Amino acid sequence: MRTEIASLGEFGLIDRLTAGFSRQNPSTLTAAGDDAAVLDHGGRKTVVSTDILLEGIHFDLHYMPLKHLGYKSVAVNLSDIYAMNARPEQIVVGIAVSNRFSVEALDELYAGIRLACENYGVDLVGGDTSASNKGLLISVTAIGTATAEQLVYRHGARPGDVLCVTGDLGGAYVGLQLLEREKRLFLENPDIRPDLEDQTYILGRQLKPEARKDIVELFEQARLVPTAMIDVSDGLTSDLLHLCKASGVGALVEEALLPIHPDTYQQSLKFQVDPTTAALHGGEDYELLFTIAPGDVEKIRYMMDVKIIGEIVPAEDGVRLQSKGGNFYPLTAQGWAHF
Amino acid sequence: MRTEIASLGEFGLIDRLTAGFSRQNPSTLTAAGDDAAVLDHGGRKTVVSTDILLEGIHFDLHYMPLKHLGYKSVAVNLSDIYAMNARPEQIVVGIAVSNRFSVEALDELYAGIRLACENYGVDLVGGDTSASNKGLLISVTAIGTATAEQLVYRHGARPGDVLCVTGDLGGAYVGLQLLEREKRLFLENPDIRPDLEDQTYILGRQLKPEARKDIVELFEQARLVPTAMIDVSDGLTSDLLHLCKASGVGALVEEALLPIHPDTYQQSLKFQVDPTTAALHGGEDYELLFTIAPGDVEKIRYMMDVKIIGEIVPAEDGVRLQSKGGNFYPLTAQGWAHF
């Protein structure tokens, strides 16, 4: 019997593969099922997250400069640590490269990794370097700390909580569409010069995303601990569904409140994509989606880059979007594109 | 200008890529340059190590069953934690797989990972699952703990210390030669039945290596803290050179004291490889190479699986082998095979 991986989907596959593992160490506080694992080595809690990035799957060197790739590889991993309301302090980086790459190319990659380490204040503490038969692979594991009181999981949202998101949504997705279009044109005719239409905002969202260190610092200053949090990596809808499932709640998102940058909006329309669809399903935004107790709303009022987009409701009300026209639509995840 | 990766070698490459990173967090106790990084989150020290394994580079599914591969992927990473005299408690595992693999194949892989978790008492606490364009990739990060007093680094060996190794050497290497021979014969004539000559010992050394959890436990019982330690993954010579370089010392290894299993010896001769060469350069033994203060020799006397193979000498005396015939040969590392 042969079951195709695509038939399970990413999360079904993870659930199946990790079933049957039983916890053996009291230092293991939480395992799979959140942005990061939480460990207890007797002091502050230790938070660990890992990501693999492969050429041809997660990045395309036709338009992703190696320095940007190094930066992004680190930033997206740190985003998982911030999503626990923790502070990343170390990373380990494994790379596998074919002999197509020169040492100078790897210098560029590590220049980006170093810039991210400096900007986020984390230390590169180890890694593994290997040959590959083909292409480039980067594996990043980030390690952070937080006190038990600071830690925020996906599972803490309660009906009545206010649903918030940072920054704006959909930009990385339309940035990718623009890069993919120019790549196609280039492959058809290598003499053509790419026309990226001065779309620096959406291109930056795709090529140099930032993790929201600033938001976690604002939370601390405001003495705000969200009830639940997740980073928006797969797309707002997909990540909201994770948060709601983990918390055993539903949610109501108001379309009119979704933060969409004007450039994202305009470029979406050019690509004949509904901007709301880009914001709901785009992915790679690396913003923070979180819930707060109603009594904490005052604390976010003056956080410039935090927007209220809806509220948490009982599970039986489902996870829904209220459109600008006043209609309700269930929010459902889109498929797993890579298989 | 283009510098080929092969021209630097693995360790030269790592040195170049990680130059220019400055430490930013007091929780970072040691970064690159040992089997694992050491972090301080306010309680016991946290020890972290990572490895990447790629199909076609680190393993060959022609003869490596997926369950064994899962087991070995974990065991070799835990070996780095034990080499710090620490106890591994958690792992995170990232995999990337092409659609050539079925879910059932991944079940096998994870059955091996689970068995290793059970045997070594570690928890799988997270990971990443991705598609790949081709082949299978496994990335394992292991996290352990130790008190500051327990931790053993590579840099603590002093002239006069006694040099010891666990188990025996070279078996994994000759096991690999046997498997490679049978693979070549099979590829030439698929009707041929592999003749593995009942070499269960050396095949087991290659296909199902064990990390030396038992040794670290014996050390604790004997209240023995080695002065320096490293695991033998690249080969005794290469790893001894690392230890000596980090400690600023030389070493004298006695050929007559090298532990070689009779099966390894016999099979080496069949392959026309000097058994001493297999033991010195074979790699993948995952034994522990360590040094102890002369006053601690009594503590290892009754450790069945620990052998004294030489002594630490001043740096100016170099790292040398004294042959059975009484001659001295400098020990030098062999090249980096994968590029």
Which of A103, A109, A213, A336 to mutate against chain B (most B CBs within 10 Å)? A103
Per-residue confidence (pLDDT) for residue A179, from 0 to 100: 93
> Closest approach of chain B CAs to the CA of A109, in angstroms?
9
Query: What type of residue is A121?
Result: G
Q: Do B131 and A338 touch (CB under 8 A)?
A: yes
Q: Do A124 and B32 touch (CB under 8 A)?
A: yes
Per-residue confidence (pLDDT) for residue B237, from 0 to 100: 97
Q: Do A139 and B36 touch (CB under 8 A)?
A: no
Residue of A nearest to B100 (CA): A4
Q: How far apart are CA A48 and CA B143, in angstroms?
A: 9
Q: Do A123 and B25 touch (CB under 8 A)?
A: yes
Chain B residues inside the 8 Å CB shell of A95: 52
Strand partners for A9: none
Chain B residues inside the 8 Å CB shell of A23: 123
Which of A1, A81, A136, A139 to mutate against chain B (most B CBs within 10 Å)? A139
**Which of B28, B128, B339 lies closest to A89 in CB terms?**
B28
Per-residue confidence (pLDDT) for residue B196, from 0 to 100: 77
> Closest approach of chain A CAs to the CA of B270, in angstroms?
30
Confidence of residue B14 (pLDDT cuts 50, 70, 90): confident
Q: How far apart are CA A22 and CA B170, in angstroms?
A: 35
- Interface ipTM: 0.90
Q: How far apart are CA A233 and CA A326, in angstroms?
A: 28
pLDDT digits (tens, 9 = 90+) for A134-160: 899 999 999 999 999 999 999 999 999
> Closest approach of chain A CAs to the CA of B11, in angstroms?
9
**Which of A31, A46, A97 lies closest to B5 in CB terms?**
A97
**Contact indicator for A246, A228 with CB cutoff of 8 Å:** yes
Q: By C-alpha distance, which of B21, B251, B56 is closest to A90? A: B21
SS3 A51: strand
> Mean pLDDT of all residues in chain B?
93
> Closest approach of chain A CAs to the CA of B73, in angstroms?
14
Q: How far apart are CA A59 and CA B9, in angstroms?
A: 27
pLDDT digits (tens, 9 = 90+) for A177-227: 999 998 888 888 888 777 777 889 999 999 999 999 999 999 999 999 999
Per-residue confidence (pLDDT) for residue A261, from 0 to 100: 97
Q: What is the DSSP string of A183-208?
A: HHHHHH-TTSPP--TT-HHHHHHHHS
Query: What type of residue is B71?
Result: Y
Alpha carbons within 13 angstroms on the beta-carbon side of residue A73 total: 33
Q: How far apart are CA A119 and CA A100, in angstroms?
A: 30
**Which of B57, B58, B131 lies closest to A57 in CB terms?**
B131
Contacts across the A-B interface (CB distance below 8 Å)? 273
Confidence of residue A32 (pLDDT cuts 50, 70, 90): low
Q: Do A58 and B130 touch (CB under 8 A)?
A: yes
DSSP B193: P
pLDDT (average), residues B26-31: 86
Task: Give the angle A129-A53-A268 at the CA atoms, nearest 5°.
Answer: 150
> Closest approach of chain A CAs to the CA of B324, in angstroms?
36
Q: Do B46 and A49 touch (CB under 8 A)?
A: no
Query: What type of residue is B35?
Result: D
Residue of A nearest to B120 (CA): A24
pLDDT digits (tens, 9 = 90+) for A70-101: 999 999 999 999 999 999 999 999 999 999 99
Chain B residues inside the 8 Å CB shell of A50: 92, 94, 126-128, 139, 141
Chain B residues inside the 8 Å CB shell of A146: none
Chain B residues inside the 8 Å CB shell of A138: none
CA distances from B13 to A73, B17, B175, B283 (A): 20, 6, 30, 20
> Closest approach of chain A CAs to the CA of B273, in angstroms?
26
**Which of A6, A57, A128 lies closest to B51 in CB terms?**
A128
Can you state the angle between helices B171-188 and B262-270, rounded to 10 degrees?
A: 40
Q: How far apart are CA A121 and CA A256, in angstroms?
A: 36
Residue of B nearest to A96 (CA): B52
> Closest approach of chain A CAs to the CA of B278, in angstroms?
23
**Alpha helix segments (H runs only) across chain A:** 9-18, 66-82, 103-120, 171-188, 200-207, 213-221, 236-247, 262-270, 275-281, 297-300
Residue of A nearest to B126 (CA): A32
**Contact indicator for A251, A240 with CB cutoff of 8 Å:** yes
Pick from B29-33, B136-140, B287-291: least confident: B29-33
DSSP A161: P
> Closest approach of chain A CAs to the CA of B301, in angstroms?
32
Q: How far apart are CA B142 and CA B144, in angstroms?
A: 7
**Which of A1, A25, A52 lies closest to B128 in CB terms?**
A52
> Closest approach of chain B CAs to the CA of A72, in angstroms?
17
Which of B1, B4, B5, B73 to mutate against chain A (most A CBs within 10 Å)? B5
DSSP B81: H
Chain B residues inside the 8 Å CB shell of A89: 25, 27-28, 39
Q: By C-alpha distance, which of B87, B86, B91 is closest to B112? A: B91
Residue of A nearest to B115 (CA): A21
Q: Do A94 and B21 touch (CB under 8 A)?
A: no
Pick from A30-44, B38-52, B293-307: least confident: A30-44
Residue of B nearest to A121 (CA): B24
Which of A45, A101, A128 to mutate against chain B (most B CBs within 10 Å)? A128
Per-residue confidence (pLDDT) for residue B195, from 0 to 100: 77
With b for 16 or more beta-carbon neighbours within 10 A and e for fewer, the B22-41 pattern comes to eebbebbbbbbbbbbbbbbb
pLDDT digits (tens, 9 = 90+) for B35-82: 889 999 888 999 999 999 999 999 999 989 999 999 999 999 999 999
> Closest approach of chain B CAs to the CA of A194, in angstroms?
26
- Reading the block at residue B15, the tokens are 């040195």
- Check whether B336 has a pLDDT greater than 60: no
For the entire predicted model, the pTM comes to 0.93
Residue of B nearest to A87 (CA): B25
**Which of B16, B37, B52 lies closest to A90 in CB terms?**
B37
- Reading the block at residue A67, the tokens are 């320095």
Task: Give the angle B250-B256-B261 at the CA atoms, nearest 5°.
Answer: 110
Q: What share of chain B has pLDDT > 70, as a percent?
A: 98
Per-residue confidence (pLDDT) for residue B32, from 0 to 100: 67
Chain A residues inside the 8 Å CB shell of B135: 133
**Which of B4, B123, B338 lies closest to A130 in CB terms?**
B338
Residue of B nearest to A146 (CA): B41
With b for 16 or more beta-carbon neighbours within 10 A and e for fewer, the B209-227 pattern comes to bbbbbebbebbeeeebbbb
Query: What type of residue is B138?
Result: I
Phi-psi region of B174 (alpha: psi -120 to 50; beta: other; left: phi over 0): alpha
Per-residue confidence (pLDDT) for residue A30, from 0 to 100: 83
> Mean pLDDT of all residues in chain A?
93
Per-residue confidence (pLDDT) for residue A12, from 0 to 100: 86
